[in-house]
Amino acid sequence: MHDVPQLPFDAAIAAIKAQVPERLQSPRVGIVCGSGLGGIVNSIQDLHLVQYNTIPGFAESTVPGHKSSLAFGTMGGVPVVAMLGRFHPYEGHPLRVVVYPIRVMARLGIANLILTNAAGGLNPKLAVGTIVALHDHLALPNMTGMNALLGPLTSPTHQRFIPLSDAYSPGLRRLLFLGAHHLGLDPDAVTEGTYAWVSGPTYESPAEGRFLRLVGADVVGMSTVPEVLAAREEGLDVMALSLVTNAVVIPETYRDIRAEVAAELAGKPVDLPPAQVVSHEEVLEIGKAKGEVMMKLVEYVVSAIP
C-alpha cells in the first residue's frame, strides 16, 4: 500500500509497535471515544496506553473531555485499539490530520471502526440520553469544499470516488440492536437517525437548527463525518453512535422585544421566558452519566463481530 504524501505512517506504526506487546499489535476493531465518552476505556482489558505525542504525525486533542492517547487491549477477548481523544477541524487541525489516526488504525489491521460522539438533538422525539446509530449524514462542509478526501489520491490503489449510500454498516447496526435487546434496554434508548456535521465551534443558532431539522437531520455535531469518509476510503466497516447530550433550541417564535417594551410602557407585567443555552460542560455531564450504556453496547458489538 502506498501512503498519503507527507504523512509518516511507517514511523507511526514503528513507534506504536515499540510500545505495545506483540499480542495486541494487530487490533481487529478501532473505537473513537467522543466528548465525555472516554469511559469506554474501562471495558478494555490488558490495557496499554500510547500517548499521541509519541506517535509521529499525531496531533494533540485540545478539547476538554478528550485525552490524547491510543488505548490497546482486548474487549471480550477481541484485540481493539481506542482513540481516547479525537481531533476536530475547529481546533485548527487540517482535515488530513483529523483523519490520520483512522488511517493509522487501518494500517494496524482493523477491519471495523466504531465511532462515538456527543451530539445535539434536532428531532424533538429524541430525549437527552438517547443513543442514535447513524444511518446517514448530511454534511454541508463536504458539499461546500471541506471534504476530508479533497486533494491528491491517498494512494494509487485507493478509489477516487467513494460512494456514501452504504457508509454505515447495516451488519454492525444489526449487532447493536441485538445488543440493546440482550442488555434489556428500553426500546426508546437506542434508535437510528441522520447526523448533520457542522464545523463548529459555535453551537447552532436557532435558524441553523431549524434549517438542519427541516432538511432531515436528527442530530448535529462537529466531528465523525471526516473520520467516516477516511474509514470508507480505507475499506473499513463503520458504525457511528451519537449520544444526545442536549436538545438544540429551535423556538417556533422569537421573543417579541417590541411587544415587551410596549407592555412595560403600559405598566403591564412582562413574563420573561427562561434563557436556554447549551454548554460543553452540560455535554460532558450527560456523557459521563450515560456513557456506561454506550460502553456496554460497544462491548457487545465488538464481541459479536463475526
Closest CA relative to residue 295, chosen from 173, 181, 170, 131 = 131
Query: Could you tell me whether strands 29-33 and 78-84 are parallel, antiparallel, or unpaired per DSSP bridges?
Result: parallel
Look up residue 293 and give its three cell numbers: 450504556
**Out of 24, 30, 204, 299, the residue judged to bind ligand HPA by CB under 6 A:** 204
Look up residue 142 and give its three cell numbers: 463536504
Shortest reach from residue 101's CB to ligand R1P, in Å: 13
Calpha distance 147→207 (Å, rounded): 24
**Out of 117, 130, 142, 191, the residue judged to bind ligand R1P by CB under 6 A:** 117
Query: Of the listed pieces 218-226, 231-239, 250-258, 292-300, which binds ligand R1P according to CB under 6 A?
Result: 218-226
List residues bridging with 80 in a β-sheet: 29, 73
**Out of 56, 129, 141, 200, the residue judged to bind ligand R1P by CB under 6 A:** 200
Site string for ligand R1P, 43-72 (x = CB under 6 A): --------------------x---------
Examine residue 280 and tell whether it contacts ligand R1P (CB under 6 A): yes
Q: Binding to ligand HPA (CB under 6 A): which residues in 220-279?
A: 220-222, 245-246, 248, 278
Shortest reach from residue 8's CB to ligand R1P, in Å: 24
Look up residue 135 and give its three cell numbers: 444511518
Residues constituting the chain: 306
| Angle of helix 170-182 versus helix 280-304 axis, rounded to 10 | 100
Per partner kind, with CB cut-offs from 5 to 8 A, the member of ligand R1P, ligand HPA, none near residue 88 is ligand R1P
Query: Of the listed pieces 6-14, 51-59, 112-120, 259-267, which binds ligand HPA according to CB under 6 A?
Result: 112-120
**Out of 59, 203, 226, 299, the residue judged to bind ligand HPA by CB under 6 A:** 203
Letter string b/e over residues 276-303, b meaning 16 or more CB atoms within 10 A of that residue's CB: eeeebeebbebbeebbebbbbbbbbbbe
Look up residue 200 and give its three cell numbers: 463548529
Count Cα atoms within 13 angstroms, Cβ side, for 95: 18
Q: Which residues form the interface with ligand R1P (CB under 6 A)?
A: 34-35, 63, 86, 88, 117-118, 200, 221-223, 280, 283
